[in-house]
Structure 1
Amino acid sequence: MGNEARLPICCTVIDPRLENGGRDDWRADIATSYPELFDPPRGLPECGGGWKAIIHEACREIRDALKTDQGNTLKIMLIRQRAGVLNIFWEGMLSARVRAAVERTIEWAYVESARTCEVCGFEGRLYTCEGWLTTACTGHGKGKLTPRKRKAAAVRVVRGTIDGKLQILSCRRYDRDGDCFIDVPPDSLEIGIERMLSESYSPIFAGYCH
Protein backbone atom coordinates (compact mmCIF):
# COMPACT_ATOMS: atom_id res chain seq x y z
CA MET A 1 0.00 0.00 0.00
CA GLY A 2 1.38 3.42 -0.94
CA ASN A 3 2.03 6.39 1.28
CA GLU A 4 -1.37 7.82 0.38
CA ALA A 5 -3.07 5.12 2.43
CA ARG A 6 -1.11 6.17 5.53
CA LEU A 7 -2.04 9.86 5.42
CA PRO A 8 -4.00 10.91 8.52
CA ILE A 9 -7.62 11.95 8.12
CA CYS A 10 -8.97 14.70 10.38
CA CYS A 11 -11.61 13.64 12.89
CA THR A 12 -13.89 15.53 15.22
CA VAL A 13 -16.60 13.53 16.95
CA ILE A 14 -19.90 15.35 16.47
CA ASP A 15 -21.68 13.69 19.39
CA PRO A 16 -19.78 11.58 21.95
CA ARG A 17 -22.93 9.52 22.56
CA LEU A 18 -22.43 8.03 19.09
CA GLU A 19 -19.16 6.41 20.15
CA ASN A 20 -19.24 2.61 20.49
CA GLY A 21 -22.68 2.34 18.91
CA GLY A 22 -24.44 4.83 21.20
CA ARG A 23 -27.89 6.06 20.11
CA ASP A 24 -29.67 9.38 20.19
CA ASP A 25 -32.93 10.67 18.73
CA TRP A 26 -31.77 11.36 15.18
CA ARG A 27 -33.31 8.15 13.84
CA ALA A 28 -36.75 9.06 15.12
CA ASP A 29 -36.26 12.62 13.84
CA ILE A 30 -35.75 11.30 10.32
CA ALA A 31 -38.96 9.27 10.42
CA THR A 32 -40.83 12.29 11.80
CA SER A 33 -39.41 14.59 9.13
CA TYR A 34 -40.44 12.26 6.27
CA PRO A 35 -43.63 10.50 7.45
CA GLU A 36 -44.63 9.60 3.89
CA LEU A 37 -41.52 7.41 3.58
CA PHE A 38 -41.58 5.55 6.90
CA ASP A 39 -43.81 3.21 8.85
CA PRO A 40 -41.94 3.05 12.21
CA PRO A 41 -40.28 1.07 13.55
CA ARG A 42 -39.77 -0.47 10.13
CA GLY A 43 -37.15 1.36 8.09
CA LEU A 44 -35.47 3.30 10.89
CA PRO A 45 -31.70 3.61 10.22
CA GLU A 46 -29.50 0.85 11.58
CA CYS A 47 -26.14 2.59 11.26
CA GLY A 48 -23.90 5.13 12.95
CA GLY A 49 -24.81 8.80 13.28
CA GLY A 50 -21.98 9.89 11.03
CA TRP A 51 -24.24 9.09 8.08
CA LYS A 52 -27.34 10.93 9.31
CA ALA A 53 -26.75 13.95 7.04
CA ILE A 54 -26.50 11.61 4.04
CA ILE A 55 -29.72 9.85 5.03
CA HIS A 56 -31.54 13.15 5.56
CA GLU A 57 -30.50 14.38 2.12
CA ALA A 58 -31.45 11.08 0.48
CA CYS A 59 -34.89 11.13 2.11
CA ARG A 60 -35.47 14.72 1.01
CA GLU A 61 -34.55 13.88 -2.60
CA ILE A 62 -36.77 10.78 -2.59
CA ARG A 63 -39.70 12.73 -1.14
CA ASP A 64 -39.32 15.45 -3.76
CA ALA A 65 -39.09 12.87 -6.56
CA LEU A 66 -42.36 11.28 -5.45
CA LYS A 67 -44.13 14.62 -5.85
CA THR A 68 -43.22 14.98 -9.53
CA ASP A 69 -45.75 12.38 -10.73
CA GLN A 70 -49.19 11.51 -9.38
CA GLY A 71 -49.85 8.11 -7.85
CA ASN A 72 -46.32 7.26 -6.72
CA THR A 73 -45.94 5.51 -3.38
CA LEU A 74 -42.78 4.32 -1.63
CA LYS A 75 -41.92 3.02 1.81
CA ILE A 76 -38.39 2.56 3.09
CA MET A 77 -38.05 -0.98 4.39
CA LEU A 78 -34.50 -0.92 5.73
CA ILE A 79 -31.53 1.43 6.08
CA ARG A 80 -28.39 -0.31 7.20
CA GLN A 81 -24.64 -0.58 6.86
CA ARG A 82 -23.51 -3.50 4.78
CA ALA A 83 -19.92 -4.14 3.67
CA GLY A 84 -18.93 -0.68 4.93
CA VAL A 85 -21.48 1.29 2.91
CA LEU A 86 -25.03 2.59 3.34
CA ASN A 87 -27.80 0.51 1.80
CA ILE A 88 -31.39 1.74 1.46
CA PHE A 89 -34.07 -0.87 0.77
CA TRP A 90 -37.53 0.11 -0.43
CA GLU A 91 -40.72 -1.06 -2.04
CA GLY A 92 -43.47 0.84 -3.78
CA MET A 93 -45.36 1.78 -6.92
CA LEU A 94 -43.38 4.22 -9.04
CA SER A 95 -43.37 5.51 -12.59
CA ALA A 96 -40.24 4.80 -14.61
CA ARG A 97 -39.10 8.42 -14.29
CA VAL A 98 -39.53 8.52 -10.51
CA ARG A 99 -37.91 5.12 -10.07
CA ALA A 100 -34.84 6.34 -11.95
CA ALA A 101 -34.65 9.42 -9.73
CA VAL A 102 -35.01 7.33 -6.57
CA GLU A 103 -32.30 4.94 -7.69
CA ARG A 104 -29.93 7.81 -8.50
CA THR A 105 -30.45 9.17 -5.00
CA ILE A 106 -29.85 5.80 -3.35
CA GLU A 107 -26.69 5.32 -5.38
CA TRP A 108 -25.52 8.81 -4.38
CA ALA A 109 -26.02 7.90 -0.71
CA TYR A 110 -24.10 4.65 -1.25
CA VAL A 111 -21.15 6.49 -2.81
CA GLU A 112 -21.12 9.26 -0.18
CA SER A 113 -21.11 6.73 2.66
CA ALA A 114 -18.16 4.95 1.05
CA ARG A 115 -16.00 7.99 1.84
CA THR A 116 -17.64 9.19 5.06
CA CYS A 117 -16.88 7.97 8.60
CA GLU A 118 -19.94 6.16 9.92
CA VAL A 119 -19.20 7.38 13.46
CA CYS A 120 -18.39 11.09 13.12
CA GLY A 121 -19.24 12.09 9.53
CA PHE A 122 -15.78 13.23 8.51
CA GLU A 123 -13.73 11.85 5.62
CA GLY A 124 -13.38 8.08 5.86
CA ARG A 125 -11.70 5.10 4.29
CA LEU A 126 -12.60 1.42 4.16
CA TYR A 127 -11.19 -0.71 7.00
CA THR A 128 -11.32 -4.44 7.54
CA CYS A 129 -11.22 -5.96 11.01
CA GLU A 130 -11.81 -9.65 11.74
CA GLY A 131 -13.80 -10.06 8.57
CA TRP A 132 -15.94 -6.93 9.06
CA LEU A 133 -15.80 -3.95 6.71
CA THR A 134 -16.36 -0.42 8.02
CA THR A 135 -15.84 3.06 6.62
CA ALA A 136 -14.14 5.27 9.18
CA CYS A 137 -11.71 8.12 9.71
CA THR A 138 -8.25 7.55 11.13
CA GLY A 139 -9.51 8.13 14.65
CA HIS A 140 -12.35 5.61 14.46
CA GLY A 141 -10.89 3.08 12.03
CA LYS A 142 -10.12 -0.37 13.42
CA GLY A 143 -8.08 -3.08 11.77
CA LYS A 144 -6.36 -2.48 8.45
CA LEU A 145 -7.01 -0.14 5.56
CA THR A 146 -8.14 -1.94 2.43
CA PRO A 147 -6.57 -1.10 -0.94
CA ARG A 148 -8.27 1.78 -2.78
CA LYS A 149 -8.62 -0.24 -5.96
CA ARG A 150 -11.22 -2.64 -4.70
CA LYS A 151 -14.63 -3.30 -6.17
CA ALA A 152 -17.38 -3.85 -3.66
CA ALA A 153 -18.81 -7.34 -3.97
CA ALA A 154 -22.41 -6.18 -3.60
CA VAL A 155 -24.62 -5.87 -6.65
CA ARG A 156 -27.70 -3.65 -6.44
CA VAL A 157 -30.72 -5.25 -8.03
CA VAL A 158 -34.11 -3.58 -8.51
CA ARG A 159 -36.98 -5.92 -9.30
CA GLY A 160 -40.41 -4.95 -10.54
CA THR A 161 -43.59 -6.19 -12.16
CA ILE A 162 -44.21 -5.29 -15.80
CA ASP A 163 -47.38 -6.57 -17.47
CA GLY A 164 -47.90 -8.89 -14.50
CA LYS A 165 -44.44 -10.47 -14.81
CA LEU A 166 -41.65 -10.07 -12.25
CA GLN A 167 -38.52 -8.76 -13.95
CA ILE A 168 -35.10 -7.32 -13.14
CA LEU A 169 -35.29 -3.58 -13.80
CA SER A 170 -31.64 -2.77 -13.09
CA CYS A 171 -28.50 -4.60 -12.02
CA ARG A 172 -25.49 -2.48 -11.09
CA ARG A 173 -22.20 -2.96 -9.24
CA TYR A 174 -20.39 -0.21 -7.31
CA ASP A 175 -16.79 0.52 -8.34
CA ARG A 176 -15.19 2.04 -5.23
CA ASP A 177 -12.10 3.20 -7.15
CA GLY A 178 -14.17 5.15 -9.66
CA ASP A 179 -16.91 6.17 -7.19
CA CYS A 180 -19.57 5.10 -9.65
CA PHE A 181 -22.03 2.33 -10.49
CA ILE A 182 -21.52 0.06 -13.49
CA ASP A 183 -24.27 -1.88 -15.25
CA VAL A 184 -23.81 -5.62 -14.95
CA PRO A 185 -25.62 -8.17 -17.17
CA PRO A 186 -27.66 -10.29 -14.73
CA ASP A 187 -26.88 -13.47 -16.64
CA SER A 188 -23.14 -12.89 -16.07
CA LEU A 189 -23.47 -13.40 -12.31
CA GLU A 190 -23.06 -16.76 -10.61
CA ILE A 191 -26.19 -16.07 -8.56
CA GLY A 192 -28.52 -16.82 -11.44
CA ILE A 193 -31.48 -14.78 -12.66
CA GLU A 194 -34.09 -17.14 -11.21
CA ARG A 195 -32.62 -16.79 -7.74
CA MET A 196 -32.39 -13.00 -8.05
CA LEU A 197 -36.09 -12.93 -8.88
CA SER A 198 -36.97 -15.12 -5.93
CA GLU A 199 -38.75 -13.33 -3.06
CA SER A 200 -36.63 -15.34 -0.62
CA TYR A 201 -33.40 -13.89 -1.97
CA SER A 202 -32.46 -10.71 -0.12
CA PRO A 203 -28.67 -10.11 0.13
CA ILE A 204 -28.60 -7.94 -3.01
CA PHE A 205 -32.25 -6.86 -2.98
CA ALA A 206 -32.33 -3.08 -3.25
CA GLY A 207 -35.86 -2.27 -4.25
CA TYR A 208 -39.17 -3.60 -5.46
CA CYS A 209 -41.32 -1.57 -7.81
CA HIS A 210 -44.82 -2.56 -8.95
Structure 2
Amino acid sequence: MVNSNDWRAKLVDAYPDIFHPVGDPPLAQGWPEVGNGWRDLLERCGGRIRTAVQAEGGTFQATQIKEKFGTLRFYWHGALSPDADAKVQEAIDLAEARSACSCEVCGEPGRLYGPGWLTTRCTAHAEGRRPEEIRPGFENVLIEERYVGDRRVVRCRRYDRENDVFIDVDPASLGIEEE
Protein backbone atom coordinates (compact mmCIF):
# COMPACT_ATOMS: atom_id res chain seq x y z
CA MET A 1 0.00 0.00 0.00
CA VAL A 2 1.28 3.46 -0.88
CA ASN A 3 1.17 6.45 1.43
CA SER A 4 -1.57 8.79 0.19
CA ASN A 5 0.94 11.64 0.53
CA ASP A 6 3.32 9.96 -1.93
CA TRP A 7 3.90 12.30 -4.86
CA ARG A 8 3.73 9.37 -7.28
CA ALA A 9 0.17 8.53 -6.21
CA LYS A 10 -0.77 12.20 -6.56
CA LEU A 11 0.80 12.32 -10.03
CA VAL A 12 -1.14 9.25 -11.18
CA ASP A 13 -4.35 10.71 -9.71
CA ALA A 14 -3.70 14.10 -11.36
CA TYR A 15 -3.14 12.52 -14.79
CA PRO A 16 -5.58 9.59 -15.14
CA ASP A 17 -5.60 10.28 -18.90
CA ILE A 18 -1.87 9.47 -18.98
CA PHE A 19 -1.62 6.65 -16.44
CA HIS A 20 -5.08 5.03 -16.72
CA PRO A 21 -5.01 3.75 -13.11
CA VAL A 22 -7.07 0.76 -12.04
CA GLY A 23 -7.34 0.26 -8.29
CA ASP A 24 -4.25 0.83 -6.16
CA PRO A 25 -2.05 3.57 -7.75
CA PRO A 26 1.22 1.55 -7.76
CA LEU A 27 -0.54 -0.93 -10.02
CA ALA A 28 -1.07 1.76 -12.67
CA GLN A 29 0.97 1.23 -15.79
CA GLY A 30 3.72 3.79 -15.92
CA TRP A 31 3.98 4.10 -12.12
CA PRO A 32 7.12 6.29 -11.73
CA GLU A 33 9.96 4.16 -10.38
CA VAL A 34 12.30 7.09 -9.79
CA GLY A 35 13.56 9.17 -6.89
CA ASN A 36 11.83 12.16 -5.31
CA GLY A 37 14.19 14.60 -7.03
CA TRP A 38 12.56 13.98 -10.39
CA ARG A 39 9.05 14.79 -9.20
CA ASP A 40 9.03 18.28 -10.74
CA LEU A 41 10.26 17.16 -14.16
CA LEU A 42 7.55 14.45 -14.30
CA GLU A 43 4.86 16.93 -13.29
CA ARG A 44 6.01 19.27 -16.08
CA CYS A 45 6.11 16.37 -18.52
CA GLY A 46 2.60 15.27 -17.56
CA GLY A 47 1.23 18.75 -18.16
CA ARG A 48 2.93 19.01 -21.53
CA ILE A 49 1.70 15.59 -22.63
CA ARG A 50 -1.86 16.34 -21.55
CA THR A 51 -1.83 19.64 -23.45
CA ALA A 52 -0.53 17.98 -26.62
CA VAL A 53 -3.00 15.10 -26.53
CA GLN A 54 -6.00 17.29 -25.69
CA ALA A 55 -5.12 19.81 -28.43
CA GLU A 56 -4.53 17.24 -31.14
CA GLY A 57 -6.62 14.26 -30.02
CA GLY A 58 -5.62 10.63 -29.95
CA THR A 59 -4.76 8.13 -27.26
CA PHE A 60 -1.83 7.99 -24.87
CA GLN A 61 -0.82 5.69 -22.03
CA ALA A 62 2.38 5.69 -20.02
CA THR A 63 3.70 2.13 -19.80
CA GLN A 64 6.94 2.52 -17.84
CA ILE A 65 8.83 5.35 -16.16
CA LYS A 66 12.19 4.47 -14.68
CA GLU A 67 15.84 5.40 -14.32
CA LYS A 68 18.30 3.72 -16.66
CA PHE A 69 21.99 4.60 -17.09
CA GLY A 70 21.46 7.48 -14.66
CA THR A 71 18.68 9.26 -16.54
CA LEU A 72 14.92 9.09 -16.95
CA ARG A 73 13.31 6.69 -19.40
CA PHE A 74 9.66 7.26 -20.28
CA TYR A 75 7.90 4.59 -22.34
CA TRP A 76 4.37 4.83 -23.72
CA HIS A 77 1.99 3.58 -26.34
CA GLY A 78 -0.96 5.11 -28.11
CA ALA A 79 -2.20 6.54 -31.36
CA LEU A 80 -1.50 10.20 -31.99
CA SER A 81 -1.47 12.54 -34.95
CA PRO A 82 2.00 13.40 -36.24
CA ASP A 83 1.77 16.85 -34.59
CA ALA A 84 0.69 15.43 -31.21
CA ASP A 85 3.34 12.73 -31.43
CA ALA A 86 6.04 15.36 -32.02
CA LYS A 87 4.82 17.45 -29.07
CA VAL A 88 4.67 14.40 -26.78
CA GLN A 89 8.16 13.35 -27.84
CA GLU A 90 9.44 16.86 -27.15
CA ALA A 91 7.87 16.76 -23.65
CA ILE A 92 9.57 13.43 -22.96
CA ASP A 93 12.89 14.62 -24.44
CA LEU A 94 12.81 17.67 -22.14
CA ALA A 95 12.08 15.51 -19.08
CA GLU A 96 14.84 13.05 -19.97
CA ALA A 97 17.31 15.90 -20.61
CA ARG A 98 16.41 17.56 -17.29
CA SER A 99 16.96 14.25 -15.49
CA ALA A 100 20.54 14.19 -16.82
CA CYS A 101 21.33 17.37 -14.88
CA SER A 102 19.03 17.05 -11.85
CA CYS A 103 19.78 15.05 -8.72
CA GLU A 104 17.37 12.12 -8.53
CA VAL A 105 17.39 12.41 -4.73
CA CYS A 106 16.69 16.13 -4.19
CA GLY A 107 16.15 17.76 -7.63
CA GLU A 108 19.03 20.23 -7.30
CA PRO A 109 21.45 20.66 -10.22
CA GLY A 110 23.45 17.49 -10.65
CA ARG A 111 25.50 15.42 -13.02
CA LEU A 112 26.24 11.83 -13.91
CA TYR A 113 28.28 9.85 -11.39
CA GLY A 114 29.84 6.41 -11.62
CA PRO A 115 31.61 4.03 -11.94
CA GLY A 116 29.47 0.98 -12.47
CA TRP A 117 25.85 1.80 -11.76
CA LEU A 118 25.38 5.32 -13.15
CA THR A 119 23.34 7.86 -11.19
CA THR A 120 22.56 11.54 -11.56
CA ARG A 121 23.32 13.32 -8.30
CA CYS A 122 24.30 16.64 -6.79
CA THR A 123 27.60 16.70 -4.92
CA ALA A 124 25.80 16.27 -1.57
CA HIS A 125 24.16 13.00 -2.71
CA ALA A 126 27.03 11.58 -4.79
CA GLU A 127 27.85 9.07 -2.02
CA GLY A 128 31.59 9.18 -2.68
CA ARG A 129 31.22 8.35 -6.38
CA ARG A 130 33.22 10.23 -8.95
CA PRO A 131 31.75 12.36 -11.74
CA GLU A 132 31.71 10.74 -15.14
CA GLU A 133 33.87 12.52 -17.68
CA ILE A 134 31.97 14.40 -20.35
CA ARG A 135 33.76 15.49 -23.47
CA PRO A 136 34.14 19.30 -23.36
CA GLY A 137 31.36 21.00 -25.32
CA PHE A 138 29.03 17.99 -25.07
CA GLU A 139 27.52 18.90 -21.67
CA ASN A 140 23.72 18.48 -21.79
CA VAL A 141 23.74 17.88 -25.55
CA LEU A 142 21.13 15.63 -27.13
CA ILE A 143 22.34 14.17 -30.41
CA GLU A 144 19.69 12.76 -32.73
CA GLU A 145 20.51 11.06 -35.98
CA ARG A 146 18.34 9.62 -38.69
CA TYR A 147 18.80 8.50 -42.22
CA VAL A 148 17.04 10.00 -45.19
CA GLY A 149 17.78 7.56 -47.96
CA ASP A 150 21.55 7.08 -47.79
CA ARG A 151 22.14 10.43 -46.12
CA ARG A 152 22.77 10.68 -42.37
CA VAL A 153 21.10 13.75 -40.84
CA VAL A 154 22.26 14.87 -37.39
CA ARG A 155 20.48 17.27 -35.09
CA CYS A 156 22.16 18.53 -31.90
CA ARG A 157 20.36 20.37 -29.13
CA ARG A 158 21.75 21.61 -25.82
CA TYR A 159 19.42 21.46 -22.83
CA ASP A 160 19.16 24.77 -20.93
CA ARG A 161 18.18 23.75 -17.38
CA GLU A 162 17.42 27.28 -16.20
CA ASN A 163 14.82 27.87 -18.94
CA ASP A 164 13.80 24.21 -19.47
CA VAL A 165 14.28 24.41 -23.25
CA PHE A 166 16.50 23.03 -25.98
CA ILE A 167 18.82 25.28 -27.95
CA ASP A 168 19.95 24.11 -31.39
CA VAL A 169 23.68 23.51 -31.77
CA ASP A 170 25.45 23.27 -35.11
CA PRO A 171 26.72 19.65 -35.35
CA ALA A 172 29.87 20.89 -37.09
CA SER A 173 30.72 22.98 -33.99
CA LEU A 174 30.94 19.66 -32.08
CA GLY A 175 33.02 18.00 -34.79
CA ILE A 176 30.07 15.96 -36.04
CA GLU A 177 29.68 15.74 -39.78
CA GLU A 178 26.66 14.60 -41.71
CA GLU A 179 27.20 12.11 -44.49
Classify 1:133/1:100 alpha carbon distance in 2 versus 1 (closer, same or farther; 3 Å): same
Shift of 1:149: 1.9
What is the aligned counterpart of 1:39 among 20, 36, 39?
20
Alpha-carbon distance in 2 for matches of 1:176, 1:64 = 31
Shift of 1:68: 1.1
What is the aligned counterpart of 1:57 among 11, 24, 44?
44
Counterpart position of 1:139: 124
TM-score, normalised via structure 2 length? 0.72
**Would you say 1:48 and 2:10 are equivalent positions?**
no
Structure with more contact order per residue of length (Cα contacts < 8 Å, sep ≥ 6): 1
Q: CA RMSD in A?
A: 2.4
What is the aligned counterpart of 1:181 among 143, 153, 164?
143
What percent of counterpart residues are identical?
35
Q: Is the 8 A contact 1:114 1:176 kept in 2?
A: no
Q: Higher helix proportion, which one?
A: 2
Moved over 2 A (4+): 175-181, 184-188
Shift of 1:187: 10
The 5 Å alignment of 1:1-210 reads: 25-40=6-21, 41=27, 42-70=29-57, 72-129=58-115, 131-142=116-127, 143-149=129-135, 177-185=139-147
Count residues in correspondence. 140
SS of residue in 2 equivalent to 1:139: helix
Any stretches of 5+ residues in structure 1 without a counterpart? 1-23, 151-174, 189-210
The residue type equivalent to 1:94 in the other structure is L
Task: For residues 100-133 of structure 1, give each alpha carbon's deviation from its aligned partner in whole angstroms, at most 9, with x where no partner exists.
Answer: 000011000111010000000001010014x100
Task: For residues 166-192 of structure 1, give each alpha carbon's deviation from its aligned partner in whole angstroms, at most 9, with x where no partner exists.
Answer: xxxxxxxxx95352232244999xxxx
Any stretches of 5+ residues in structure 2 without a counterpart? 22-26, 151-179
Alpha-carbon distance in 2 for matches of 1:31, 1:186 = 39
TM-score, normalised via structure 1 length? 0.62
